[in-house]
């Protein structure tokens, strides 16, 4: 068992080296490890700059580079499986520092010229983050998320289309309940609502199921996967102009309110700048303390 694990890690490192050797549009930070096998790319998300797998600029930069590789028509990858290398979190949450004033001026990146653009280069009406997530839905590959661990909410609105995708999955009533109250949900309940496709008792069952699913999808020709995704996207994804209006509202109005700024600042303090600890691990249960 251990030997097998060691083997996989070594291969992943090699793949990481191969990816970073090719010219990347954005700086690379080593937060994603990839390994390809028979048309399937396994991506392990492991943000070495954060104890909670924070969705920060490092991770966004690496994801944007990965997406660019996958958009190229010469790849034979047909399925992309995202899993986490962090035992507690799939992806913690968006870096709350990015909604605070001063973020733009901060020396978050050592080389300032490598900072991510706020708006997308391809469509300046979308934020970089929204374009990144939209581009994942547009990929010519099927994408699967292996979620083991927490995904915490923030008490801000679930932006970049989050609330819209969730309404489509769980329906209007449950979306109001979970989005407005920012409630935790366990895997079995999430499965019964259609929020996730399937819940498993053990990590082994989950991995085996996804391995078989990915291998089966990868049997099919690229054009079939692309066409099927287009059809499903056409009726189940928020339209781009709705996302654009949402971006303007979030960036232009919500993030700038004194309440949002105060809450974000309190959150950074209470989580010791988003480090693993009581609040990040039990956010759903403990969030009331932030609002008192
Ligand atoms: C995995 O596939 C991607 C996309 O085609 C490619 O850029 C990358 O070099 C491949 N990695 C390895 C290790 O073959
Ligand atoms: C890949 O092919 C599609 C369809 O022909 C085209 O729209 C797209 O621009 C191509 N992507 C790249 C990166 O060349
Ligand atoms: C999204 O994809 C488009 C090309 O379709 C590209 O111009 C843009 O830079 C990409 N944005 C991100 C954030 O990946
Ligand atoms: C961005 O929005 C402006 C104003 O609404 C519009 O004129 C422009 O065509 C949009 N650009 C893109 C690339 O969608
Ligand atoms: C939190 O961490 C970020 C990234 O390292 C840093 O830019 C920021 O100044 C830190 N904030 C506080 C309050 O320590």
The tens place of each residue's pLDDT in the chain, 292 residues long, gives 222 222 223 333 333 334 444 568 898 999 999 999 999 999 999 999 999 999 999 999 999 999 999 999 889 999 999 999 999 999 988 888 887 876 655 544 444 445 788 888 888 888 888 899 999 999 999 999 999 887 755 555 677 788 889 999 999 999 989 888 888 889 999 999 999 999 999 999 999 999 999 999 999 999 999 999 999 999 999 999 988 887 777 666 677 788 888 888 888 999 999 999 988 888 878 878 887 7
Q: Kindly identify the ligand whose nearest atom is closest to the C-alpha of 226.
A: 2
Ligand 5: distance of its center to the CA of 273 in Å? 6
29: Cβ contacts below 8 Å, ≥ 6 apart: 48, 49, 58, 59, 61, 62
Q: To which H or E segment does residue 45 belong?
A: strand 40-45
Phi, psi (degrees; rounded to nearest 5) at 266: -65, -40
Helix/strand/coil for 38:
coil
**What's the pLDDT score for residue 127?**
84
In terms of Cα–Cα distance, which of 106, 138, 110 is closest to 122?
A: 138
Helix/strand/coil for 233:
helix
Distance in angstroms (rounded) separating the CA atoms of residues 243 and 229: 19
pTM of the model: 0.84
Q: Is 23 in the pocket of ligand 2 (CB under 6 A)?
A: no
Q: Is 100 in the pocket of ligand 5 (CB under 6 A)?
A: no
- The sign of the CA dihedral 91, 96, 102, 107 is negative
Mutation to probe ligand 3, out of 121, 128, 136 (largest number of atoms < 8 A from CB): 121
Ligand 4: distance of its center to the CA of 70 in Å? 26
Distance in angstroms (rounded) separating the CA atoms of residues 171 and 114: 40
63 forms beta bridges with: none
Residue ID of nearest Cα to ligand 1 atom 1: 36
Q: Kindly identify the ligand whose nearest atom is closest to the C-alpha of 244.
A: 4
DSSP 185-241: --HHHHHHHTSSS---SSHHHHHHHHHHHHHHHTTS-HHHHHHHHHHHHHHHS--HH
Atom of ligand 3 nearest to the CA of 63: 14
Contact 60, 114 (CB under 8 A): no
**What's the pLDDT score for residue 220?**
96
**What's the pLDDT score for residue 117?**
84
- The two structure tokens encoding residue 254: 């919500």
**What's the pLDDT score for residue 89?**
92
């Amino acid at each position: 068992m251990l030997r097998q694990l060691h083997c996989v890690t070594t291969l992943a490192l090699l793949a990481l080296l191969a990816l970073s050797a090719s010219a990347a549009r954005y700086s690379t930070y080593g937060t994603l490890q990839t390994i390809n096998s028979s048309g399937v790319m396994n991506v392990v998300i492991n943000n070495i700059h954060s104890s909670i797998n924070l969705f920060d600029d490092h991770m966004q930069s690496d994801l944007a580079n990965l997406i660019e590789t996958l958009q190229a028509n010469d790849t034979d990858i047909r399925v992309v499986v995202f899993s986490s290398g962090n035992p507690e979190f799939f992806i913690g949450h968006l870096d709350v520092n990015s909604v605070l004033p001063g973020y733009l001026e901060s020396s978050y990146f050592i080389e300032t010229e490598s900072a991510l653009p706020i708006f997308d280069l391809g469509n300046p009406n979308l934020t970089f983050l929204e374009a990144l997530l939209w581009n994942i839905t547009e990929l010519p590959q099927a994408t699967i998320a292996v979620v083991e661990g927490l995904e915490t909410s923030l008490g801000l609105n679930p932006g970049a289309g989050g609330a819209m995708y969730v309404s489509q999955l769980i329906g209007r009533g449950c979306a109001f309940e979970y989005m407005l109250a920012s409630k935790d949900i366990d895997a079995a309940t999430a499965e019964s609502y259609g929020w996730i496709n399937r819940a498993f008792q053990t990590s082994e069952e989950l991995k085996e199921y996804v391995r078989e699913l990915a291998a089966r999808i990868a049997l099919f020709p690229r054009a079939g996967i692309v066409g099927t995704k287009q059809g499903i996207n056409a009726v189940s994804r928020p339209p781009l102009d709705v996302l654009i209006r949402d971006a303007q509202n979030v960036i232009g109005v919500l993030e700038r309110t004194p309440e949002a700024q105060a809450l974000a600042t309190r959150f950074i303090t209470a989580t010791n700048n988003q480090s693993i600890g009581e609040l990040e691990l039990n956010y759903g249960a403990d969030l009331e303390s932030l609002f008192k």
